Structure 1
Amino acid sequence: MASINDPVFPAQCDIRLRQGDLGRNGAVSAIGMARWLEDARIRVKTPQFGRLVGAGEFGRHQIILVSQRVEVLAPVHRSGADAVVHTGIRHIGRSSFTYQQAVFAGGRRVGSGGATVLLLGSAGPLALPDELIADLTDLSVPDSSETTAAKPSAERKQREHYAFFAPLRARIGDVDVNQHVNYLAQATWYDEAVAVFAAAALGAGGLVPDLSPSSYRIDYIGEVTYPGDYEIGVLVHSFDADSVRYELGIFSGSDCLSIADAIGPRDVLSAKSLGPSGPH
């Protein structure tokens, strides 16, 4: 396990725990930790690229999130130490690059994650300029022990793949400066879908147990906009005595706009409710 002073992560960012980062169990949720990872990525310095853009020598562009992942490895409570997020660059492509991140609190590693982003112009992906490549190279992680996740299969983008659907209407508070539903807001939609699935599986009134996933891998495929009515598909991929692996997707009609893999606690969910004859 990496130490808090692990030199392979060139950038470090202190994070102060906020009330909104906590889940129902009083510990930082996967969504809260995803916000920490975002905060750290925003603070990573790319000075050569910044000077290029500031001098007007690089045209209009957007940096678009293609995918993100987050995993809570150990609980972090409000009474615990504030967190430190370590960030490096794992891969540099022609038009995109990938962050690798680790989260530490109280001297122990409590989370991990990363994201792939794309440099996009009005006509499509842009080649990374030499100045940005130089900045990213300075931030490279030389010896990554993490394996690259396989691309999701094509069937994951089909409505027929999913056994259960939770409806959700976009909220104006989900919309960011790019005028679409923010990618972190979409992550909360997946939390919502798992909760709706759990409520249907339990088939009883009262408080639904806290079954929010502790890890997500999300791929963003299309634009989710406001106003709009959407459905989140849920499929139980597998389960054991302690956990449930979900496959999830956001749909507008037959169009798949995002897909996710998630792992959450099983708790009181029965084998019958998680099987093919579970809630529909």
Structure 2
Amino acid sequence: MSSQVHLEMLKKINTEKGFIAALDQSSGSIQHALRLYGISERQYSGEEEMYTKVHKMNTRIMTSEAFSGDRILGAILFENTLDREIEGLASPDYLWQTKKIVPFLKVDIGLEAEHNGVQLMRPIGGLNDLLDKAVGKNIFGSKMRSFIRLANCSGIHIIVAQQFAIGARILAKGLVPIIEPEIDIHSPEKGAAELILREELLLQLDAIPDSQQVILKLSLPNITGFYNKLIAHPRVLKVVALSGGYSREKANRLLSENTDMVASFSRAFSEELFDLMSHDEFESTINESIDSIYQASNQ
């Protein structure tokens, strides 16, 4: 990627209105995503056919007239999408050149078993090679997710330290990391976990060199404006919200109450999109989804 294109993408994320669409299904969640879309396991055989089905689904979303840079800032892809084309262009190039949507790449490969109330990321073998591949494919940034179930100080400290250690490797490649320590929206200790997480994030952000920034992807907080300190931090390019299992209606309502957070929804974004919809039905439904999330992101 040229430095000029990188600066154009950076400017878009930093200054324009919109949200980030998450199309980064992991190997463990693709079957679930396809079922929600109306495609059962009986309709494909083996991993390659499964990936082809999900790429067809994501292609239908990304080629939709409603899916454009007018309301969408970026889109998070997973590695298999990176290796495929859309309308004759590599997927990241299609997003930027055709839609003016900034491409991101999911780099984590799933979670460890729960310990100290959290699930760390599994070791990411070949991360350097994947990041080099991302740079070569004109990816702007990358995303990695870990999971917090309980307000355990030790667990949350370790999970944030892991995120920022990998984030430093991503920054060293010239990419912008999306740091995603998700908190379980059903946790009985969600509010307490948010307090610990916020302080751990501030400590790690303070240690980032002046010339670098990260994006934070967080569960919508119990208290409105709870993450304003993070939003205002000079090392934070953007704070985006995951839907975390909320319906789109509820996620949008909570998001609209948190000024300056914008959406990075996955399931809530693709809610009510189905394989057997006609072209007009699909276009109408995705346009309504995009518009509702855009409005909630820009209150």
Q: TM-score, normalised by structure 1?
A: 0.28
More strand by share: 1
More helix by share: 2
Q: TM-score, normalised by structure 2?
A: 0.26
Larger-gyration structure (1/2): 1
